[in-house]
Amino acid sequence: SQQGEEDPQALSIQEGENATMNCSYKTSINNLQWYRQNSGRGLVHLILIRSNEREKHSGRLRVTLDTSKKSSSLLITASRAADTASYFCARDTGRRALTFGSGTRLQVQP
Amino acid sequence: EADIYQTPRYLVIGTGKKITLECSQTMGHDKMYWYQQDPGMELHLIHYSYGVNSTEKGDLSSESTVSRIRTEHFPLTLESARPSHTSQYLCASSASTGLDIQYFGAGTRLSVL
């Protein structure tokens, strides 16, 4: 994608393990957001991190942001089968709309 | 659960038909968006609106049109559907002030035969 990349494209883990997905981008941002999409559904906002923040937590989610490397990571701890979904990072660059990546498809095996 | 609704959820139609995908939100958001998403792929912005009577084309060229006559309603119309229009269409909205967090509808999965 010209806007950045997410990796891995797909991730399969066992219940209880941690899942880490990464997002890189190319332009400066106001904030970076992570969304979740269950199969065949719309996206749901999970967490937002501002450009002047380095780390943020919400429940089992931990997001980091490194603006010097233009990258972010989402960590889901103690994963559950219900966490199976696609996860997208979205960059707010102050343009007309968020710019979404191609997503990481997470499969959590029970 | 976001108060944004899309109908229909699934639509199978023949080539050449005119269709309208409905999107309504009850959150009073000024900003609304239409995205196109192929299965397992990234979202592409096709239209957006910052308020009533304001509509703009997005990053992805689309043969669809939109209107914004009421704050809560942002329908998308295809005058003559083609198989290349087969995709999932996602509607979203966000407040005009504060952080641009988007709320999505459940989507319309369109198949054009």
List all residues of chain B from 90 to 109 with a beta carbon under 8 Å from chain A: 90, 92, 99-107, 109
CA A101 – CA A88 distance, rounded (Å): 6
Provide Rg for chain B, Cα atoms.
Answer: 13
| Domains located in chain A, CATH noted | 4-109 (2.60.40.10)
Low-confidence ranges of chain A (pLDDT < 50): 1-2
Provide φ and ψ at A54, rounded to 5°.
-110, -25
Domain with residue B70: its CATH number is 2.60.40.10
Residue B14: both structure tokens together: 């023949």
Q: Indicate which of B4, B57, B66, B101 best probes the interface with A, i.e. most A CBs within 10 Å of its own CB.
A: B101
Using CA atoms, how far residue B67 sits from B11, B57, B61, in Å, is 20, 11, 17
| DSSP code per residue over A8-59 | -SEEEEETTS-EEEEEEESS--SEEEEEEE-TTS-EEEEEEEETT-SEEEET
* pLDDT value, residue B41: 87
pLDDT-derived band at B40 (thresholds 50, 70, 90) equals: confident
CB-closest option in B45, B88, B103 to A97: B45
Looking only at the bridges linking them, the beta strands covering B65-66 and B103-104 are unpaired
B41: closest CA of chain A, how far (Å):
5
How many CB pairs below 8 A link A and B? 60
* pLDDT tens digits along B65-107: 999 999 999 999 999 999 999 999 999 999 988 788 999 999 9
Query: In chain B, how many domains are there?
Result: 1
Mean pLDDT of B12-20: 96
Q: In chain B, which residue's Cα lies nearest the Cα of A89?
A: B42
- What lies within 8 Å, CB to CB, of B2 at 6+ separation is A42, A44, B25, B27, B103, B104, B105
Which range marks the domain in which residue B26 is found?
Answer: 4-112
* pLDDT value, residue A5: 82
